[in-house]
Structure formats: C-alpha cells, structure tokens
Amino acid sequence: MLKPIIITLTLLTFLCFVHSIGANAATQSRENYESTGNVIWEVKTHQKIVAITFDDGPHPDYTPQILDLLAKYDAKATFFVAGNKVKSYPDVLKREVNEGHEIANHTYTHPYDRNISANKLSSELDNTDKIIKNLSGYRPSLYRPVGGLHNDTIINTAVNKGFKVVLWSWHQDPKDWAMPPASKISNHIIKALQPGDIILLHDWSDRPQTVQALETTLDYLYKNGYECVTVSELLYRSHLKFPEFLMDIPVQ
Ligand SMILES: [Zn+2]
C-alpha cells in the first residue's frame, strides 16, 4: 500500500528537480560576479561620495519634483528608466539628460521574470537603447535587472551588449515602493550610509514619500560633506588614487 505512494512521491520530487534545473539559469556568488568587474553592488572608497538611483520612470509628476530637489542641492543621480515610460514622457527624460544626470537601461516593459530568455531580454534592452539614443544622442552603458533578479543568462546577455550590470548596496534598499512614511525611508538611508553606496529609490507610481525623503536625505548628505554623483562617476572616482590623480595634472 505504501510502496506506490513512495514511488510516486520520489518520481514527483525528481521531476520537480529536473524542471527547476531546466527553468533556472545558474546563479553564481556575488564574489564571482564582482570579480569579473561586470557586476557591481557598490564601490569601495574612503571619499564621501554616493550614487542615488531611481528606477522605473520617468514619471510625469514625481520625476520633475525629484529633479527640482537634485538641482537645489547640486546633486547628480542615475535614472534606470523603462523604455515604455520614456516613450510616454520623452520631455522628462530630456530634462534628466539636460541637467547632467545619467540615464541607464532598465528594460522596455519591465518584465519581472527570473527565467527571462536571452532573446527576450536582448530585445527589451535594444528597444530601450534605441529610444534613449533617439532622444539624448547617446546609448546608456549601465543596466539594472528588474527586481535585481539576475543569473548567468541575464548577466551574460547584458555584458555581451557592452553593459555594466548595476545592482545596489543591499543595505540601501529603504523599500520606498511599499510606500512607508517618508521619515522611515530617509532614516533607513542615513543610518546605513557608507561612502561608495548605491542607493535604491523609485520614481514611478505614487511617490510623494520618496520625494519628501529625498529632500531630508539630500540635506543630510550636503551638511555632512557628501557628494551625490552618477553611478559612472562613482565608478570612475573610486578608481582614482590620490597621488596618481595629482600626477595626471599636466605641468606647465
Ligand atoms: Zn524596476
């Protein structure tokens, strides 16, 4: 009586195992991915520099409010945009570019899919590149996977197209998408703050709390001698060594 049940259960477990191998591309450790230099979570630096990033926009109401605050504090940010939102709000993207912020690729339709195929991801990235290039004249060099979901297929597809894959400091996700009070968002960022952090925020959907938290955060950063730079500048500056930097200045 028990035997057929045990055989059936064993068979089911085996089938689930085979299915999971087939469906999920391999994911390596963070250390492995970081060692390639193609995937970053944050940078190591003693300089008081951080990168604030906004995902999923541009939004017609909240992104302009965010841009006003960034301008007030002379801060630069990186916008990981979704191509279909750029199509709807091209003027907001143009403003981001004109004000010196970095535009990065966050797919076209924002598919939340750990098992996305290389072909599907490739066309998502191409479509977003195309619309950004048409509006700004340049192609982005950074890509952030939707939901941070990554594996070899996702990373290799992006890297083969010349992208650097940018996640975020795991201690700098204040979960603003869940719409907590603004003070909770800014307290989270300020308490966890480290030089070289990449901070995750969102400008799509209803984001009054994010805007309010941004003002508190920028004020704190400004008063404490931090500079907000784009992710590309964060990477560039973290590689500069002080003496080499001095030696780079041409002697008259
Ligand atoms: Zn997203």
Question: Ligand 1 centroid vs 220 CA: distance in angstroms?
Answer: 26
pLDDT at 247 over 60: no
Question: Ligand 1 centroid vs 247 CA: distance in angstroms?
Answer: 41
pLDDT band at 18 (very low <50, low <70, confident <90, very high): very low
Question: Ligand 1 centroid vs 12 CA: distance in angstroms?
Answer: 35
The residue annotated as part of the active site, out of 55, 56, 176, 197, is 55
Handedness of CA 108, 109, 112, 116 (dihedral sign): negative
Question: Ligand 1 centroid vs 157 CA: distance in angstroms?
Answer: 18
Question: Ligand 1 centroid vs 167 CA: distance in angstroms?
Answer: 11
Clarify whether 55 is annotated catalytic: yes
pTM, to two decimals: 0.87
pLDDT at 236 over 90: yes
Delimit the domains of the chain by residue range: 42-240
By the CB criterion, residues less than 5 angstroms from ion ligand 1 are 55-56
pLDDT band at 231 (very low <50, low <70, confident <90, very high): very high
Question: Ligand 1 centroid vs 202 CA: distance in angstroms?
Answer: 8
In angstroms, rounded to a whole number, what is the distance separating the alpha carbons of residues 29 and 39? 11
Structure tokens at 219: 């004020």
Query: Would you identify the CATH topology of the domain 42-240?
Result: TIM Barrel (3.20.20)
Question: Ligand 1 centroid vs 37 CA: distance in angstroms?
Answer: 22
Clarify whether 129 is annotated catalytic: no
Q: What integer pLDDT is reported at residue 8 of this predicted model?
A: 55
pLDDT at 95 over 60: yes
Alpha carbon of 28 to those of 25, 33, 117, 199: distances in Å?
10, 7, 18, 23
In angstroms, rounded to a whole number, what is the distance separating the alpha carbons of residues 54 and 131? 18
Q: What integer pLDDT is reported at residue 239 of this predicted model?
A: 86
pLDDT in tens, 159-186: 999 999 999 999 999 999 999 999 999 9
The residue annotated as part of the active site, out of 176, 188, 202, 203, is 202
How high is the mean pLDDT of the chain?
90
Question: Ligand 1 centroid vs 82 CA: distance in angstroms?
Answer: 8
